[in-house]
C-alpha cells in the first residue's frame, strides 16, 4: 500500500514551482475587501472549458463573478467577495448522469486561480457549494455554486492579476426519493479551452499607494522628473529593490485548514492501548448530514479515525483483462479512547416552528470496513465503499429553550442504515459511504482515495429512538422519532490527508507539505462541504 501512496500533498514539480514564487502571500484568513479598499470592481467573466466525462471530453461554459477592490496598499490583505461560479454542461453530460438513475445533482466546485505580481506567481483554490438541482429532461445542465475564497496580500508594488485555471466539479447524485444514485458522487475535471479569452484573466488589482505611470510601473511620489541617473543610485535604493523582488512567502488555503484549527479538533493519535503498526493510518473527517424531515443539515464535528490498511490486497483480473487490487482495511472512530465522535449540537425547527437543539454523539457499534477496488491503467482508479454501524446517541435536548431530561440511554434503537450494494456479504444495519478517485503520478490524486482523503457520500435511514426520558419524567421517544427518524437523509463527509505514524512525513521543513504533526497526529484538518 505504501508503494503507490497517492497522498503526497505536493508533487516534486509543485514543490519546485512553489519555491520559485515571490512577492505576495495567500492567507487562509478571510478579510473583507471593504476593510482595505474604498472602491470595488465587479467582474463577470464567461470562459470556455473542456470537461472530461464518461462519454469523452465535452465543451462547457464557466461563468465567474466576484467583487474585487479597486486598489490596495502594499502588505494589506483582501479577499474577493460575492464569488459565484456557474457551470453550464451540455446535454451530453446530462445523458452521462441519468443512466445512474439520478434525478437531482448537488455540486461543489474547486477552481484553481492563478495569482501573479511582477515576476511572481502562485495558486489559490476557490471553493463553492450549492443546493441540489433537478436534472433536466433535455438540454444543458446549469450548476451554480458560491463560497468564501482565500485572501491575498501584495508584498510589493505592482498589479496583482487573477486568472481562472483548472476546475473540478464534485457532483452528488440522488434519485427522486433522495437516495444516492449509482456511486453517489462523480467528479468532473475541466480545463480552460485553448481559445479562452485573455488566458482566463479575471481581474487586475493595483497594489501600492503610488500612481502608476503610463508604462505601468509605479513611481515614487518624491522622484524627480526625467530619466533616472545611474550615478545617483545610492545605498538606499537597494533595499527598495530587494523589497520588490524579495523571496516568496506563500500560505495557501487548503482543505487541510490551518494550524489554528487544531483548537477545535480532538486528539487523533495512537496510544498504548491502540499501538500503531507499519500499516496504520490516522485521519480527521468532518461533513454534513441532512435531516430530511426537518429540511435542514447537521454539521458533523471533526472526528478522528484510526485505520489499519490491508496487508495483502488481492490481485484480480477482470473479464476485460483489466487488473484490480482488492483491499479491505479496518477502521475505528477514536475519541478519548472510545469508539465514538466528540459531542456535537444541531438545531432545527421541529414541526416547522419550534426550535429544538440536541447534543449528540455518533457511537460505533461494530467493525468499520473500507473496501477498495483499484483498477490499474494509465491512471490508478479507486472505488471505495465504507461500511460502519453507527448509533446516534442524544445526551442533551432543549425545546424552545427549555431543557428536557433525556436520561443516560437516549439513542436510536438500532444503527443508521443504508442500502448496501452487496447485502448478501454485508448483512445487518450499517451506514454505507462511497468514494471514487484517480491518481496519475506525479500529479495530485483527485476525488477520494484512502490515503489522500476526499469526499465520501451516501444516503441513510435514521431509526426510531428509544430510552429517551426518565422514569419520573416524560417519555421523549415519540417526540424524537416523529421529528427526526426516517429515510432519505443525504450524507457528505470529507476525509483529510492521512498520517502514517510508522513513517511520518513532517514536510521537510515546509509545513504546507506536512502529513503528520510532530506528535504523530494528522496534519490536515478537512473543511466540511455541503
How many other CB atoms sit within 10 Å of the CB of residue 478?
14
Helix (H) or strand (E) holding 164: strand 160-174
Helices vs. strands in the chain: H and E counts, helices first: 4, 29
Q: Are 458 and 419 in contact (CB under 8 A)?
A: no
Tell me the torsion sign for CA atoms 331, 337, 339, 342.
negative
Q: Determine the Cα–Cα distance for residues 414 and 50; give it in Å rounded to an integer.
A: 47
**Structure confidence at residue 410 (pLDDT):** 94
Q: Are 386 and 432 in contact (CB under 8 A)?
A: yes
Q: Which CATH class is domain 29-208?
A: mainly beta
**Structure confidence at residue 349 (pLDDT):** 55
**Cα first-last separation, the chain:** 30
Helix (H) or strand (E) holding 96: helix 91-97
Q: List, in sequence order, every residue forming a beta bridge with 63; answer none if it has no partner.
A: 46, 86
Q: Are 316 and 344 in contact (CB under 8 A)?
A: no
**Structure confidence at residue 507 (pLDDT):** 74
Could you tell me where the beta strands, DSSP code E, fall in 335-440?
344-350, 354-364, 368-376, 380-388, 390-399, 402-404, 411-412, 431-439
Residue 493: closest CA among 284, 269, 189, 262 = 284
Residue 154: closest CA among 97, 205, 100, 217 = 205
190 burial type by CB count under 10 A (0-12 exposed, 13-18 middle, 19+ buried): buried
Residue 450: closest CA among 530, 380, 510 = 380
Q: Determine the Cα–Cα distance for residues 282 and 35; give it in Å rounded to an integer.
A: 40
Q: Are 489 and 460 in contact (CB under 8 A)?
A: yes
Q: Determine the Cα–Cα distance for residues 251 and 24; give it in Å rounded to an integer.
A: 10
Decide the pairing of beta strands 380-388 and 390-399.
Answer: unpaired
Instruction: Supply the DSSP string of 250-285, one letter for each residue.
Output: -----TT--GGGGGGS------SSS---TTEEEEEE
Q: Are 243 and 156 in contact (CB under 8 A)?
A: yes
Q: Which residue has the cell 505504501?
A: 2
pLDDT along the chain (530 residues), means of 10: 38 30 24 44 93 84 94 84 92 78 84 85 82 86 86 81 90 76 74 83 83 40 35 41 37 37 77 90 91 75 93 84 90 93 76 69 95 88 95 88 87 95 94 92 86 92 91 81 87 93 78 77 84
Residue 1: closest CA among 250, 402, 370, 293 = 370
Amino acid at each position: 500500500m505504501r508503494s503507490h501512496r497517492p497522498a503526497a500533498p505536493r508533487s516534486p514539480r509543485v514543490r519546485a514551482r512553489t519555491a520559485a514564487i515571490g512577492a505576495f502571500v495567500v492567507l487562509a484568513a478571510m478579510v473583507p475587501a471593504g476593510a482595505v479598499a474604498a472602491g470595488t470592481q465587479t467582474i463577470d467573466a464567461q470562459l470556455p472549458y473542456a470537461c472530461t466525462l464518461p462519454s469523452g471530453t465535452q465543451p462547457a461554459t464557466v461563468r465567474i463573478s466576484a467583487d474585487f477592490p479597486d486598489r490596495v496598499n502594499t502588505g494589506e490583505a483582501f479577499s474577493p467577495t460575492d464569488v459565484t461560479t456557474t457551470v453550464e454542461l451540455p446535454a451530453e453530460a446530462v445523458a452521462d448522469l441519468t443512466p445512474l438513475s439520478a434525478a437531482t445533482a448537488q455540486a461543489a466546485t474547486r477552481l484553481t486561480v492563478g495569482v501573479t505580481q511582477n515576476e511572481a506567481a502562485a495558486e489559490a483554490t476557490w471553493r463553492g457549494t450549492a443546493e441540489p438541482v433537478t436534472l433536466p429532461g433535455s438540454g444543458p445542465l446549469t450548476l451554480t455554486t458560491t463560497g468564501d475564497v482565500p485572501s491575498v496580500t501584495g508584498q510589493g508594488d505592482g498589479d496583482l492579476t487573477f486568472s481562472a485555471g483548472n476546475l473540478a466539479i464534485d457532483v452528488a447524485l440522488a434519485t427522486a426519493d433522495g437516495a444516492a444514485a449509482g456511486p453517489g458522487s462523480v467528479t468532473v475535471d475541466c480545463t480552460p479551452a485553448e481559445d479562452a479569452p485573455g488566458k482566463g484573466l479575471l481581474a487586475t488589482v493595483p497594489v501600492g499607494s503610488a500612481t502608476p505611470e503610463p508604462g505601468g510601473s509605479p513611481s515614487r511620489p518624491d522622484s524627480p522628473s526625467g530619466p533616472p541617473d545611474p550615478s545617483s543610485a545610492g545605498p538606499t535604493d537597494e533595499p527598495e529593490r530587494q523589497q520588490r523582488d524579495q523571496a516568496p512567502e506563500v500560505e495557501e488555503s487548503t482543505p487541510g485548514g490551518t494550524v489554528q484549527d487544531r483548537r477545535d479538533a480532538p486528539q487523533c493519535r495512537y496510544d498504548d492501548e491502540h499501538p500503531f503498526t507499519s500499516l496504520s493510518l490516522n485521519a480527521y473527517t468532518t461533513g454534513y448530514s441532512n435531516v430530511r424531515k426537518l429540511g435542514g443539515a447537521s454539521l458533523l464535528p471533526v472526528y478522528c479515525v484510526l485505520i489499519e490498511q490491508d496487508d495483502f490486497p488481492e490481485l484480480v483480473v477482470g473479464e476485460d483483462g483489466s487488473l484490480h487490487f482488492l483491499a479491505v482495511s479496518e477502521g475505528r472512530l477514536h475519541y478519548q479512547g472510545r469508539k465514538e465522535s466528540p459531542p456535537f449540537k444541531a438545531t432545527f425547527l421541529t414541526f416547522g416552528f419550534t426550535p429544538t437543539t440536541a447534543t449528540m454523539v455518533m457511537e460505533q457499534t461494530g467493525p468499520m470496513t473500507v473496501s477498495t477496488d483499484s483498477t490499474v491503467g494509465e491512471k490508478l482508479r479507486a472505488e471505495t465503499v465504507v461500511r460502519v454501524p453507527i448509533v446516534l446517541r442524544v445526551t442533551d435536548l432543549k425545546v424552545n429553550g427549555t431543557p428536557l431530561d433525556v436520561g443516560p440511554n437516549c439513542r436510536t434503537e438500532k444503527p443508521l442504515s443504508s442500502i448496501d450494494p452487496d447485502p448478501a456479504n454485508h448483512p445487518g444495519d450499517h451506514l454505507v459511504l462511497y468514494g471514487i478517485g484517480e491518481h496519475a503520478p506525479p500529479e495530485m490524486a483527485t476525488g477520494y482515495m484512502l490515503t489522500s482523503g476526499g469526499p465520501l457520500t451516501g444516503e441513510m435511514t435514521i431509526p426510531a429512538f428509544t430510552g429517551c426520558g426518565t422514569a419520573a419524567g416524560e417519555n421523549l421517544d415519540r417526540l424524537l422519532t416523529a421529528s427526526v427518524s426516517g429515510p432519505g437523509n443525504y450524507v457528505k463527509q470529507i476525509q483529510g490527508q492521512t498520517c502514517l505514524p510508522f513513517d511520518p512525513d513532517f514536510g521537510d521543513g515546509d509545513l504546507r507539505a506536512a502529513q503528520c504533526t510532530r506528535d504523530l497526529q494528522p496534519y490536515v484538518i478537512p473543511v466540511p462541504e455541503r
